[in-house]
Amino acid sequence: MDAEARDTATSRKRLHVITWGCQMNVYDSGRMADVLAPLGYEPAASPEGADMVILNTCHIRDKAAEKVFSELGRLRRMKEASDGRMILAVAGCVAQAEGAEILARAPFVDIVLGPQTYHKLPEMVARASRAGGAVIETDFPAEDKFDHLPDAAAPQGIAAFLTIQEGCDKFCSFCVVPYTRGAEQSRSAAAVIAEARRLVAQGSVEISLLGQNVNAWHGTEGWGLGRLLRAMAEIPGLKRLRYTTSHPRDMDDELYAAHRDLPALMPFLHLPVQSGSDRILAAMNRKHTADEFRAIARKLREARPDMALSSDFIVGHPGETEADFEATMQLVRDVTFAMAYSFKYSQRPGTPAAGAPMQVPEAEKDRRLQALQALLRDQQAAFNRSCVGLTFPVLFTGTGRHPGQIAGRSPYLQPVHVVGPVDLIGSEVPVTIVAAHPNSLAGTISQERRSA
């Protein structure tokens, strides 16, 4: 921190962070709070009356910018109510993509910063307080933000996120991420393991390794993700490991072997496929076929027979015909998913598909999305029903919605609630599932545990 930044660290201040988008944004929001803590900023539950509000934005689909401007309108009124004392910052992927437009349309914003510049926040806050004008940082700096961020200050909780890779080099036809997050960059294994140990020391029991293509991670040590997972599984006290989001192209034998050998590595993988049509997969620049995806699912289930899969789908990519869409439906029927996200293709400025001919009419996208979602919903309900009668460990992370309930996650990431004592929060406990709902499970603490 430079002298100027230190000067502003005079008193306790309240910071509220609003987070949209993916888990990497959730992680980044935590790190922004960490980097501001030495300036006296403490977390505030609401933007009302806060000294600083950060809006951490997502640019992935439609109307991203409009949503930002409408939220900024609401925050502007709060800023005015504070006599202009509130510092307003816009971070994340919309800031990166449309920083100049934000300052032009919302001149009351003090700071605009892209995802790779969060370590510069203290200095930007100092500049904004002094200059009275807006401060913008949307370059991709040569230095690595992780080398300049402090160690995580606030405990992240029982189930923590840990970003191990930034950016993306894949350039799928439809996607803004390579433009908003920059080139793919991996952190070293040593840095990742050190951060994981700190998280566990602070009470985290589960860690999800994050990256836009997390399975393309490669450490400076020459390690791949499978090797990293093996090393992480040896950290005492770390009971559960996950990684997300993976690209089918980067699945390798080391990863299948990790799923086979590591009990801590949860039997659930989010593996976006987007389409089941080879023609559309090629147009999307995904660089794999539908049958290659089927083979990956098979290998994962060979390695870990109880493996459950989740995925992302886009309907109505430019050029998608009824036959292409039917190929997607067939892939879903063949592979079967425990859950999935599906979206209508959304034209994103500056991406190759946005200008492609043969855009699919909106009504047709709607129809396809409904058909796909009905099928995926059925599969999710069937998967949840198949859990009834099983006993598996649940990691309890908090209280449930009803009095006396505690809630947590199954190995397959389903929310599970039971009637049980709050002192089980933070533990992994065997639970027998007694009922399945569309998006969650109900269970009872198993006899094994009661007699133990």
Interacting residues with ligand F3S (CB under 6 A): 21-22, 24-25, 58-60, 92-93, 176-177, 180-181
In whole angstroms, how far apart are CA 277 and each of 207, 273, 284, 351, 378?
Answer: 34, 10, 10, 21, 22
Going by the DSSP 8-state scheme, the letter that residue 299 receives in this structure is H
In whole angstroms, what is the distance from residue 385 CA to residue 71 CA? 40
Among 96, 165, 185, 213, binds ligand SF4 (CB under 6 A): 213
Among 87, 93, 175, 273, binds ligand SF4 (CB under 6 A): 175
Q: What's the min distance (Å) between Cβ of 215 and ligand F3S?
A: 16
In whole angstroms, what is the distance from residue 15 CA to residue 363 CA? 43
Interface stretch with ligand SF4, choices 92-100, 171-179, 251-259, 356-364 (CB under 6 A): 171-179
For the chain, the residue count is 452
> Does residue 341 touch ligand SF4 according to CB under 6 A?
no
Q: Of the two residues 25 and 410, which places its CB atom closer to ligand F3S in the complex?
A: 25
Q: Name the binder of 171 from ligand SAH, ligand SF4, ligand F3S, none, CB < 5-8 A by kind.
A: ligand SF4
Interface stretch with ligand SAH, choices 142-150, 339-347, 384-392, 399-407 (CB under 6 A): 339-347
Q: What's the min distance (Å) between Cβ of 329 and ligand SAH?
A: 16
- Lookup result for tokens 């988008």: 21
Q: Of the two residues 27 and 383, which places its CB atom closer to ligand F3S in the complex?
A: 27
> Does residue 170 touch ligand SF4 according to CB under 6 A?
yes
Helix (H) / strand (E) containing 122: helix 121-131
In whole angstroms, how far apart are CA 234 and each of 23, 158, 196, 228, 238?
Answer: 25, 18, 11, 10, 8
> Does residue 325 touch ligand SAH according to CB under 6 A?
no
Q: Is the dihedral of CA 142, 179, 325, 376 positive or negative?
A: positive
Compute the radius of gyration of the chain from its Cα atoms.
Answer: 23
In whole angstroms, how far apart are CA 190 and each of 87, 167, 194, 438?
Answer: 36, 20, 6, 41
> Site residues for ligand SAH, window 355-414 (CB under 6 A)?
none
> Does residue 177 touch ligand SF4 according to CB under 6 A?
yes
Q: Name the binder of 395 from ligand SAH, ligand SF4, ligand F3S, none, CB < 5-8 A by kind.
A: none
Task: Kindly list the residues in this chain that would bind ligand SAH in the complex (CB under 6 A).
Answer: 60-61, 174-175, 177, 212-213, 245, 247, 272, 274, 312, 314, 343, 345-346, 348
